[in-house]
Amino acid sequence: MLLASDHQPSLERTRSTPSKATDSLLLDRKNSFNSLTSPAGLHSYLSTPHPRAWLFLSLLCLQVVLFVIARSLPISLSLPRGRHHFPAPIVASRPDAGATPDNHPAAATGTDECSSGRVYVYELPSFFNRELIEQCDNLNPWSSRCDALANDGFGPPARGVEGIVPEEVAPAWFWTDQFVSEIIFHNRMLKHRCRTTEPETARGFYIPFYAGLAVGKYLWSNGSAADRDRHCEMMLRWVQGQEFYRRSDGWDHFITMGRITWDFRRSKDEDWGSSCIYMPGMRNITRLLIERNPWDYFDVGVPYPTGFHPRSDNDIVTWQDHVRKRPRNTLFCFAGATRRTIKNDFRGLLLDQCRDARGSCRAVNCAGSRCSNGTAEILETFLDSKFCLQPRGDSFTRRSIFDCIVAGSIPVFFWKRTAYFQYEWFLPRERESYSVYIDRNEVKNGTSIKEVLEKFSEEDVRRMREKVIENIPKFVYTMKEEGLESYKDAFDVAIEGVMRRFKEQEEWGFKWR
């Protein structure tokens, strides 16, 4: 599923999207929250005089003291109720998936690429991952998902892209589904250079549970709340029984959840999705999601999978060179569909402006499910356009953002939550260096998108495009299980970020028993 400009049926996102808050309020709360949840931010706060904050700091210090005391006491966990039981974990891992291989660049140079620590991969019962793939015919109420999950989650090889992508990188393109990050991360973790088969030496613990696949089949069916929660409850019961989870209460554990966070945040039985994230055992586990809750420290936003999965450094260089030299005769483009059920649908305004711009804009109609799996038309449209319009999807994010960036087109955002508050580990710090932001309310009040974009000089466009192209490696998932030689892909950035977080937590004083 190469370049999907939209998500699956709109019912998913309209039911799963949280109540809206203004971007300014979000930014204030986010900055305030982050300043007290990262060690560096808290240190900065404590180093600056705040006369009115002494009472707050006193209470905070008391909480820290109580927390440390609590860590020194035996932990008693209340496990989710249920009749299922799984045997103790198999500590030994498969022999072909050890730590740093001898032929890895780190071994050759003698450098330590695991300075933030090593990772232990739990060997969960196959019920929680591999069996879900084997049951691919039953994961969707409408059709089989076997093709989508083929080739280790990359999906079927891309067809119809001849003449659009260079011949030498065509084998690196697939019709990749947007909800397969769980499979991709699991396969990469098994070969990760910092993986250890000895949990006593690990700083981080990876839980290879396919939460998105497990809940996906019940999201549009008549499945009960218990159906949607069953796999997660059973997984947490298993993990909570492990020595190293009990030691830290999950603070050094992480998981990939292949859907947006709102699919796992059901508050009431009759509402959408699973309640997995709200289950007690999940509270302290770091979660890698394609859309995060910006207010939740344990949610980390990672790029949606796109169709480009480079096999080598050369694939990266070849593709970057291709998109850099590509003639772009269209000022801007939009790939998407209107939402007829939404009053004053913003996408409709974008399509209207695209039509009014005549030859300056190119639109791809994604009505129905035309674009859900990506098309060569979308890829070619992004490649031909200087800018690509990226409104929110059925939730705040959409895969089209990454399809656009991989094609070397400059994204135009209308909500700050669409990217800026989501993928901070991956996007450049200077937003204006790679993107354009136009407040949606200005567009609603008549601001011409064409006129805004025409104000950028050719040098401005070249500079922004170069920044986009420079960062392409961080937005793709390589086909090579051991990773690329000279580039860090989205997986590498995510895992390094998680391990750095765990290391900082330990340095801040959170030592496990």
Which sequence spans correspond to the domains of the chain? 105-306+484-507, 310-475
Query: φ and ψ at 253, to 5 degrees?
Result: -110, 150
pLDDT of residue 511: 57
Report the pLDDT value the prediction gives residue 76, as an integer from 0 to 100: 32
Quote the CA–CA distance of 273 and 15 in Å, as a whole number: 9
- CB atoms under 10 Å from CB of 309, counted, come to 24
- Residue 369: predicted pLDDT: 61
pLDDT score of 202? 97
pLDDT tens track for 28-84:
444 444 444 444 444 444 344 444 444 445 555 555 444 444 433 333 333 333 333
The answer to whether residues 220 and 143 touch, using CB atoms and an 8 Å cutoff, is: no
pLDDT beneath 50: ranges in the chain: 1-56, 64-110, 513
- How far is the C-alpha of 58 from the C-alpha of 64, rounded, in Å? 10
Nearest one of 120, 122, 73, 79 to 281, comparing CA atoms: 79
What pLDDT, on a 0 to 100 scale, did the predictor assign at position 371? 67
* Degrees, nearest 5: CA angle 70-256-222: 105
**Confidence (pLDDT) at 345:** 85
Angle formed by the axes of helices 490-507 and 39-47, nearest 10°? 50
The CATH number of domain 310-475, selected from 3.40.50, 2.60.40, 2.30.30, 3.40.140: 3.40.50
Residue 448, C-beta contacts closer than 8 angstroms, at least 6 positions apart: 353
Residue 338, pLDDT score = 79
Q: Which DSSP helix (H) or strand (E) runs through 288? A: strand 286-291
CB contact at 8 A, 304 and 399:
yes
Cα Rg of the chain, angstroms: 23
The pLDDT value recorded for residue 13 is: 40
- pTM for the model stands at 0.80
Instruction: Please give the Cα distance from 203 to 198 (Å, whole number).
Output: 11
Residue 436 to residue 123: CA distance in whole angstroms: 44
